DNA sequence: CGGCTCCTTGAGCCCAGTCAAAGTCCGTGG
DNA sequence: CCACGGACTTTGACTGGGCTCAAGGAGCCG
């Protein structure tokens, strides 16, 4: 299966044929391709569509007048930006691509149609939203309490599991198509310090990061260093009681 | 009106008599009183009820084995903890009181009943959840990009508007019933540094904080210092098109 | 009045930031 | 196939915001 969206959602529950068809149809609507570092949604925009990321990486961010920028979240393939965003009048943050991406645009009506048609799908979109907010909380914890190495290690562990959930990892490695400056804006560090912290992880033999591919050499050790507990991702088939068949 | 919950929700839309009755009834269920610094929900618990905070302050938090603690969110009177939390199997964080509180416990069935009975109420609970996650994003920005003074100033501005939305401010002041250590765990600072930063705000004439009451002497100046933009709180009657009558 | 808890202050240190320059990689065009 | 340019990474030297440790003060409650 190459539909990362459905693949992600099936980490919660297994769909029926009808569910699958409805989700496939929804993710084939309004396909757009964008290049790297393009804005998808601007702060202040009126929400018009739900954007579904099919390929590539994007991010939420907020930027101050003085240039400081915080990346608030990463969108990975299969991630849906805010299924209920229509309730709000204006976007309070921006969304931009990090790499070239493929997006689907899903209308409010279609979201309503597929959730009305299947309570299982409705519940699963709820789950996706709770999963997203749980990540946001964990980022709050990282920025508030973790040191530079811990933050970096934690992010690498999180990305490993999120990408694995959509089939985008090899055994111990994955594509990490962002710059050190992006990581700096994500982790609340300077890019110089991200660079030095990466070297610390490299020389201690924890990771390799060459030509966009990150390899984790000792995941248990990195997990311990990061104080990483995967429970908050809720990727462990928690909707088993809703499974089809 | 002394129902802070309804008062908060009416910052989004105006309810009908039937909506009001349903919400009043829901917030009168399973009333509990707890003292200061008691846990309401533990990390790892199975979610059983939605907790509605009627009086007092509480917080979400996460704590590491080594003692580091991050307060992830404040719950103020009228705040509802996670209306859809039942979808998840286990809590990935804890909730505790900061002051003595009064809580209502709302069951999953009742939440479903009132949202099914009134699409307006359903939409408003959606709004409340989006409001909460927007605050979480802004805290991410604060911890990632704002300096100590800016973080403190930003928090004071945010609390001012959130408390005003439920009628808990005087013109320029409000009750701030937390310790400097709590603020430290919220802002990712040490309590010593919070103390020094508070003095900076005091000696520059921005605030007074005596006997639990915080007074902001020049809100525009504090807003500017904090780079505070209230848009993310979405407290500006954004559901006007849904108003009853 | 004794004993909490919380706040305040001082001294010294360190993690991470800033500034600046050089090195590397990669795509593009001649 | 090489030269160029731009984006990104790496390194060095220095600075500073915020941390730690520690002790003393203030307020409050029984």
Task: Using a 7 Å cut-off to protein CB atoms, list the covered nucleotides of chain C.
Answer: 5-11, 15-20, 25-26
Each residue's pLDDT tens digit, B156-179: 999 999 999 999 999 999 999 999
User: Can you say whether the dihedral through the CA atoms of B190, B37, B233, B199 is positive or negative?
Assistant: negative
pLDDT band at residue B1, thresholds of 50, 70 and 90? Answer: low
Domain match, B8 and B118 both: yes
Q: pTM for the complete prediction?
A: 0.97
CATH classification at residue B77: 2.60.120.10
A88 contacts B127? CB cut-off 8 A: yes
Indicate if the pLDDT at residue B119 is higher than 80: yes
**What does the alpha-carbon distance between residue B52 and residue B209 come to, in Å, rounded to a whole number?**
28
Indicate if the pLDDT at residue A123 is higher than 80: yes
Contact B220, B206 (CB under 8 A): no
Domain match, A107 and A24 both: yes
Nearest CA in chain A to B183: A144
Is A114 a member of any domain?
Answer: yes
Domain match, A27 and A87 both: yes
Closest partner CB to B68 (pick from A127, A130, A145): A145
Domain match, A56 and A110 both: yes
Is B37 a member of any domain?
Answer: yes
Domain match, B9 and B114 both: yes
Domain match, B107 and B28 both: yes
Last residue of some domain: B72, B94, B122? B122
Closest CA to A60 of A77, A36, A83, A43: A43
Last residue of some domain: A118, A146, A168? A118
Taking residue B37's Cβ as centre, other Cβ atoms within 10 Å add up to 12
Average pLDDT value for chain A: 96
B134 contacts A136? CB cut-off 8 A: no
Nearest CA in chain B to A71: B141
By residue range, what is the domain housing residue A95? 4-118
Number of domains in chain A: 2
Indicate if the pLDDT at residue B84 is higher than 90: no
**What does the alpha-carbon distance between residue A142 and residue A139 come to, in Å, rounded to a whole number?**
5
Task: Using a 7 Å cut-off to protein CB atoms, list the covered nucleotides of chain D.
Answer: 7-13, 17-22, 28
Domain match, A17 and A96 both: yes
- In this structure, is the CB of residue A219 within 7 Å of any atom belonging to strand D? no
Domain match, B147 and B223 both: yes
Q: What is the distance in angstroms measured between the alpha-carbon CA of A43 and the sugar C1' of D23? A: 50
- In this structure, is the CB of residue A235 within 7 Å of any atom belonging to strand C? no
As a 3-state breakdown, chain A gives helix, strand, coil percent values, each rounded to 5, of: 45, 20, 35
Indicate if the pLDDT at residue A20 is higher than 70: yes
Q: Is A173 left (phi over 0), alpha (psi -120 to 50) or beta?
A: beta
Average pLDDT (A142-161) is 98
**What does the alpha-carbon distance between residue B1 and residue A27 come to, in Å, rounded to a whole number?**
46
Nearest CA in chain A to B234: A88
Is A129 a member of any domain?
Answer: no
pLDDT confidence of residue A2: 84
Contact B223, B233 (CB under 8 A): no
B136 contacts A140? CB cut-off 8 A: yes
Q: Which of B87, B95, B234 to mutate to test the interface with A (most CBs of A within 10 A)?
A: B87
pLDDT band at residue A83, thresholds of 50, 70 and 90? Answer: confident
Last residue of some domain: B68, B92, B122? B122
pLDDT band at residue A224, thresholds of 50, 70 and 90? Answer: very high
pLDDT confidence of residue A84: 81
pLDDT band at residue A152, thresholds of 50, 70 and 90? Answer: very high
pLDDT band at residue A1, thresholds of 50, 70 and 90? Answer: low
pLDDT band at residue A245, thresholds of 50, 70 and 90? Answer: confident
What strands, in cross-sheet order, belong to the sheet with A173-175? A173-175, A213-216, A207-210
- In this structure, is the CB of residue B173 within 7 Å of any atom belonging to strand D? no
Domain match, B106 and B149 both: no
pLDDT confidence of residue A225: 98
* 3-state SS assignment for residue B196: helix
Domain match, B195 and B228 both: yes
Average pLDDT (B209-234) is 97
Contact B239, B124 (CB under 8 A): yes
């Amino acid at each position: 299966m190459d539909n990362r969206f459905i693949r992600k959602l099936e980490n919660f529950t297994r769909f029926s044929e009808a569910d699958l068809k409805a989700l496939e149809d929804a993710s084939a609507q309004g396909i757009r391709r964008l290049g790297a570092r393009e804005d998808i949604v601007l702060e202040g925009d009126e929400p018009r569509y739900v954007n579904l990321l099919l390929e590539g990486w994007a991010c939420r961010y907020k930027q101050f007048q003085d240039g400081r920028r915080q990346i608030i979240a990463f969108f990975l393939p299969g991630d849906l930006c805010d299924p209920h965003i229509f309730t709000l009048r204006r976007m309070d943050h921006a969304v931009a691509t990090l790499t070239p991406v493929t997006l689907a645009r899903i209308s409010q009506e279609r979201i309503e149609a597929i959730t009305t048609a299947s309570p299982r799908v409705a519940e699963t979109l709820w789950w996706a939203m709770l999963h997203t907010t749980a990540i946001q909380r964990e980022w709050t914890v990282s920025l508030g309490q973790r040191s530079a190495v811990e933050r970096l290690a934690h992010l690498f562990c999180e990305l490993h599991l999120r990408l694995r959930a959509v089939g985008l990892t090899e055994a111990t490695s994955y594509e990490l198509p962002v710059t050190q400056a992006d990581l700096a804006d994500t982790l609340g560090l300077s890019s110089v310090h991200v660079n030095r912290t990466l070297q610390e992880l490299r020389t201690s033999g924890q990771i390799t990061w060459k030509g966009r591919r990150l390899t984790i050499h000792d995941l248990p050790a990195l997990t311990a260093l990061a104080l990483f507990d995967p429970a908050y991702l809720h990727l462990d088939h928690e909707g088993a009681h809703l499974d089809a068949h």
